[in-house]
Amino acid sequence: MRQAAADAKRTSSSSHGGGGTGIVHDYRPAVFPFYEKWRKEYGPVFSYSVGNMVFLHATDPGVVRDLCLCVSPEDLGKSSYMKTTHHPLFGDGILKSNGDAWTRQRKLIAPEFFPDKVKGMVDLMVGSAQALVRAWEERVAGTGALDIKVDDDIRAYSADVISRACFGSSYVKGKRIFAMIRDLQKTVARPNLLAEMTGLRFLPTRTSWAAWRLNQRVRRLILDVVRESGGEDEGNLLNAMLRSAEAEVGGGSASEDFVVDNCKNIYFAGYETTAVTAAWCLMLLALHPEWQRRVRDEARELTMVIQETLRLYPAGSVVSRQALRELSLGGVRVPGGVNIYVPVSTVHLDAGLWGAGAREFDPDRFAARPQLHSYLPFGAGARTCLGQGFAMAELKVLLALILSRFEVALSPAYRHSPALRLVVEPEHGVQVVLKSMWPVDGPI
Ligand code: HEM
């Protein structure tokens, strides 16, 4: 098995040879070698167990369609698998909660991402994107062309946007908080399967102590910002959550928990996902200069390019659920307690759903709306991503500004190697060559 994974890794991790030849967008054999092997052996629906946990792996369109249509929080919820290990990161926030607790949080947070609210955040996105583009312009000036790994700068953009949106004028402190949550994420991201499967997870370990300490610091800092804001209505997410929490759960530590946990959830859900999507999108645009031209001519085309990026490189690689009671999905009986995994990239590359060219980059396919169950970059059913409008706006602002200033080509140093680190990201970063299209003091 290990050898199969290593072989697959070698074939998908390739230097692209200058013009982008040799890049294979289908990363499944490298990133999910076991699932691919089992799917080929057992078909689109199979189950396996780890200790006493049962997993149903499904890519059958009937199962996926029923999963998308199931909106009852009593039937399907988020898996309790890893809940204890990941508790310092997610707490009881929206991402992992179920039942009434989830319904209440969703109702409170969703309005903060309604289109009119997102529209009000576009200016702050433009401000952050302009800072990035200006910095690149300065580096390009004098050299004519800049060979650059874009990932860190894009991450800084994503962190800046989400900090400003969440923390308003305290966004500098917000960025420190998010940096700490990132450390927390790294600490809890090392899964301890044995601990999950046994009572040992309740015993403190060095990692769990480190996570606990980090968590306390994050909590103190978030509550500091809340106190500093003095309840002033700044129109940022933090204040909105505070208002909601006080109205719903009353003051005191329950409302503090609500705010702290959901700050961490929003950060986790919105930061890395958006940054990684922007990086993959730049890689694909660098490979396809004809699409750079089309996007410059017609803004609508940018939406299609982003949609196609999310099809080929979905940041959320798996839609996971737990059957909270016995269900039937696409004619398959699913007993209560079973964990359901839908590998998004397999659905997105299904030739039956997307045609023979499913593995190729072709944004034109999004001229028509895809079928509900064939496109899951933002998840499925009642639990779909709350921030998708926000993420799309953030991506459009950044990419439109970059393309209005630069021609983008893939660097000869780029190595294509998608790797799973909670989200599927470019293992060695995305390295491109930027050429300025305008004089450096031109308008942005
Ligand atoms: C390109 C960027 C993004 C991608 C690909 C993405 C993807 C996802 C996915 C796959 C889920 C799980 C859905 C499911 O299980 O059915 C999710 C949930 C969620 N996302 Fe996003 N997301 C992105 C950006 C954002 C942003 C920017 C925010 C907020 C600022 C956000 C907030 C959330 C929240 C709150 C949930 C939990 C929804 C619930 O459980 O009810 N996401 N996202």
pLDDT top residue among 86 and 221: 221
- Nearest CA to 330 out of 19, 24, 67 is that of 67
- Nearest CA to 38 out of 312, 341, 375 is that of 341
Ligand 1: atom nearest CA of 265 is 35
Span from the CA of 32 to the centroid of ligand 1 (angstroms)? 22
Instruction: Quick: pLDDT tens for 141-158.
Output: 878 899 999 999 999 999
Ligand 1: atom nearest CA of 344 is 10
Please give the model's pTM, rounded to 2 decimal places.
Answer: 0.90
Q: Poorest-confidence range of 99-103, 223-227, 413-417?
A: 223-227
Half-sphere CA count of 288, side-chain side, radius 13 A: 19
- Nearest CA to 274 out of 173, 164, 397, 108 is that of 397
Instruction: Quick: pLDDT tens for 173-186.
Output: 888 888 888 888 77
> Is residue 320 pLDDT above 70, yes or no?
yes
What is the pLDDT averaged over residues 357-376? Answer: 95
User: What ipTM score was computed for the predicted complex, to two decimals?
Assistant: 0.99
**Element housing 145 (H / E):** strand 145-149
Q: What is the pLDDT of residue 198?
A: 47
Instruction: Quick: pLDDT tens for 388-414.
Output: 999 999 999 999 999 999 999 999 999
Ligand 1: atom nearest CA of 276 is 1
Span from the CA of 434 to the centroid of ligand 1 (angstroms)? 31
Q: What percent of the chain has pLDDT over 90?
A: 53
Write the burial class of residue 71 (CB in 10 Å: 0-12 exposed, 13-18 middle, 19+ buried): exposed
Pocket of ligand 1 (CB under 6 A): 94-95, 106, 162, 265-266, 269-270, 273-274, 277, 315-316, 319, 377-380, 383-387, 390-391
Q: What is the pLDDT of residue 291?
A: 97
> Is residue 21 pLDDT above 70, yes or no?
no
Span from the CA of 179 to the centroid of ligand 1 (angstroms)? 19
Span from the CA of 175 to the centroid of ligand 1 (angstroms)? 20
